[in-house]
Structure 1
Amino acid sequence: MAKAPKTKVTTEKPLERYVRMLEIIAGFPGGISPSTVGEMLDLPKASAYRLMRSLADVELIEHTAPRAATFKLGQRLERLLFSGASDAWLIAIARPILNELAERTGQACFIARLVGTSVRSIDMVAPDNQLRAYIVPGHEIPSHAGASAKAILAFQDAAFIATVLDRPLVQFTSATKTEFTKLLEELQFVRKTGVAYCVGEDVDGFGAIAAPIQIKGQRTLYSLCVTGTNHALFDNDRELKVAHVKNLAARLSRILEEKISRDLKVAV
């Protein structure tokens, strides 16, 4: 009696095919068609299109143009990669910007990052004075009182903002705002002007000016901030300092956007 032919055992894990597709698509930033991907993976065109359609449905890939037949990596995947990246690469890129801002303003400057639901300083250029303890890397910035935190928080979605601010908040000084509606009004101002302020709201006598670091297609996670005494920041050349912060934050945003675009292929 003839033996029945053995059934080929598939050892490929369920998600492996999707991962291999993403690796291929990452290598073609200008876009690649399902038929080409199918050929590279030895898949029928219909199967390749179905799998790529599933990736597109969850925004891990997207069409290169509205009616194009080619796909590229999607913004959701780019956001995941950006959000999970180490701060070391950003610090290396941002340090010259921090030095330039410190030189132009004569004040302490730092970069802040949103981590979970809190904002923390990650790098600074500061004079040897009491501000060093105030903005030492890793220091948490009060989301309702710190300019660097407001500059980030203003560009989050409403539900996230409510989670962070719609609760009892610490009254650090007489200038600290703790009322949710007032804080929402201030964040609306930040979105409109692109700049956030702290005027003695977390430490008496000290203030800050901050601007978001915004990268196209990415969640706003970082801000650039200058801090010092209220007198040093606001009594002389206030608008010039604001312009420096906004302009250098915009320059850093462009630099980071270009780097992310170049490195995305390697990262995937």
Structure 2
Amino acid sequence: MSLAIDRNTDLKKYNSWKIGGPADHFCLPQTIDEMIEAVEYAKDLRLPITILGSGSNVLIPDSGLKGLVICTKKFKGLETQKTKERFVITAMAGEPKFSLAKAFIKENLPPGIFLSGLPGDVGGGIVMNAGIAEQMTPREFHEMTDWVEVLRDGQIIRFEKSQLQWSYRHCLGWEPGIIVRAGFSWSLADIDKTIKDKAAMFAKTRKDRQPLEMPSCGSTFVNPPGNSAGRLIQDSGLKGYQIGDAQVSLKHANFLVNLGNAKASDFVALISHIQKTVKEKFNIELKTEVKFL
């Protein structure tokens, strides 16, 4: 077996909250063949599999994760080409979203703007139909996605965009399996020479408004229809509220930050307290955007 499988791997350095216990079994596949090896390893030992991307939108428990954790941090690759009418990108699931941003910005195309403000990788972007609250086109993953390839039972299956069910922070229809690669494109008719400046300005605005210098998972809660989770939390008087070293950011209330030594249980308790408080004050149930593993 060419793929290295580690035991009792500390997962704190593999997620943006810097929390959580160890993985019983852990690997970092770089190719589809190695991904297949990883799945076979888990199958032979009857281990459950957890896919961990960039770890920018997950909560890993203090007890760690049982079974095999397949981390896609090294599962990278990006190719570009132009047809007569479109700029086309093929990217591996572990490729950072920012790589897509740079590719689109280089061609002066609109997707570069919203992508420049998103953490995480391509696979995670598809799973949650990642996007932004600001009004622009495009502002969600589904708008530029053409197809998604999934590893299932040792085979690569391609799903066209129309075969998937896209909604706010969700993409369904590709499961079960592991997303390994995806195709994206945008019309060359939309070339805009100001895209680079617009993307830089957008990224700066997000940096000014969000605690990007601190360990967080980005937006913790989904915005309720017609409302803002951050505003509801702020109006509940919870900005700066903390449990242990888990704190509601003073910069943006929908961001929960690790002040240094927070535990997963601190964030779980903080999330629960926020949901309870907002429910009591506004009768609105906040749903988490972060995924509990």
Q: Which has the larger radius of gyration?
A: 1
Q: Greater share of helix residues, 1 or 2? A: 1
Q: TM above 0.5, one fold?
A: no
Q: Greater share of strand residues, 1 or 2? A: 2
TM-score normalised according to structure 1 size: 0.24
TM-score normalised according to structure 2 size: 0.22
